[in-house]
Amino acid sequence: MRVLLVEDDRALAQGIRVALRGEGYTLDWVADGAEAEHALQCERFDLVLLDLGLPRRDGLAVLRSMRSQAQGNVPVLILTARDAVADRVAGLDAGADDYLVKPVDLDELKARIRALLRRCQGRAQPRLEYAGVSLDPATQQVSYQGTPVTVTPMEYQLLHQLLARPGVVVTRERLSNALYGWQESGPGNTLEVLIHNLRKKLHSGLIRTVRGVGYLVEQQP
Ligand code: CA
């Protein structure tokens, strides 16, 4: 899952970065509204965390311009000051999906992100289950046919991407985007290596390669 964080408070941004990367999210950070607009026009994100008081272009303007674009349905969680009720209302009216009041509680932020991602995938159930694999976003635990399987945060994110669209080919581009964002993949975490590891840990026939396109999780016969 690729998250864009738009926040000019460096200390807060750093805290959120560490917390979300620890959960295996790919986090890209920009510190002003103009950069945010540029990033949103050029790249694809699964979620945006948007501060409202920003240099160069304020968060509400960024949100309104996002929502007016053809592909402007990315979930947005706004970060606002405690006393700014009017800002929160304006943010929600401008198309934000949820808000969090500063100072941000990182555990609450993580829970709200999980809930938002779940809602926008049209699922009320937090757990993903398909083809014998069960994945719990709250605990990041994976099991295969009832037996717990240990996976790394990147393996988890890859599996999450595939299980969220069961039986559908997920393109390499989409997976790379979700896993690496603006970072490069290292030699130990290329898509091929991660897929190889997941096949070994789960079931060799579970993930099918569609040459030149991507991968999908198949229902076992
Ligand atoms: Ca700010």
Residues of the chain with pLDDT under 50: 221
Quote the ligand 1 centre to 197 CA distance (angstroms): 41
Quote the ligand 1 centre to 54 CA distance (angstroms): 5
Fold of 128-216: Arc Repressor Mutant, subunit A (1.10.10)
Whether the CB-CB separation of 51 and 7 falls below 8 Å is answered with yes
Instruction: Calculate the dihedral angle through the C-alpha atoms of 103, 84, 3, 161, rounding to the nearest 10 degrees.
Output: 100
How far apart are alpha carbons 155 and 48 in whole angstroms?
23
Q: What is the pLDDT of residue 98?
A: 94
Quote the ligand 1 centre to 184 CA distance (angstroms): 29
Quote the ligand 1 centre to 10 CA distance (angstroms): 9
H or E stretch at 162: helix 153-163
Quote the ligand 1 centre to 58 CA distance (angstroms): 9
Quote the ligand 1 centre to 6 CA distance (angstroms): 9
How far apart are alpha carbons 63 and 67 in whole angstroms?
6
Please report the beta strands in the chain, taking only residues with DSSP state E, as ranges in sequence order.
2-6, 26-30, 47-51, 76-80, 98-101, 128-130, 133-136, 141-144, 147-149, 170-171, 207-210, 214-217
Q: Domain boundaries in the chain? A: 2-120, 128-216
Quote the ligand 1 centre to 56 CA distance (angstroms): 11
Please provide the DSSP assignment of 112-150 as one string.
Answer: HHHHHHHHHTT-S-S-EEETTEEEETTTTEEEETTEEE-
Q: Domain 2-120 belongs to what architecture?
A: 3-Layer(aba) Sandwich (3.40)
Whether the CB-CB separation of 80 and 102 falls below 8 Å is answered with yes
Identity of the residue numbered 40: L
Residue pLDDT, tens place only, 57-71: 999 999 999 998 866
Q: What is the pLDDT of residue 124?
A: 63
Quote the ligand 1 centre to 128 CA distance (angstroms): 35
Q: What is the pLDDT of residue 126?
A: 76
**Residue 108 CB: number of other CB atoms within 10 A?**
11
Residue pLDDT, tens place only, 108-144: 999 999 999 888 777 667 788 898 999 988 788 999 9
Whether the CB-CB separation of 87 and 81 falls below 8 Å is answered with yes
Pull the structure tokens for residue 75: 């979930």
Quote the ligand 1 centre to 80 CA distance (angstroms): 8
Quote the ligand 1 centre to 91 CA distance (angstroms): 14
Q: What is the pLDDT of residue 38?
A: 94
What does each C-alpha distance from 209 to 98, 167, 202, 217 come to in angstroms? 37, 12, 15, 9
* Domain pair 2-120 / 128-216, same fold: no
Quote the ligand 1 centre to 24 CA distance (angstroms): 25
Strand-by-strand arrangement of the 170-171 sheet? 170-171, 214-217, 207-210
Q: Pairing between strand 47-51 and 2-6?
A: parallel
Q: What is the pLDDT of residue 16?
A: 96
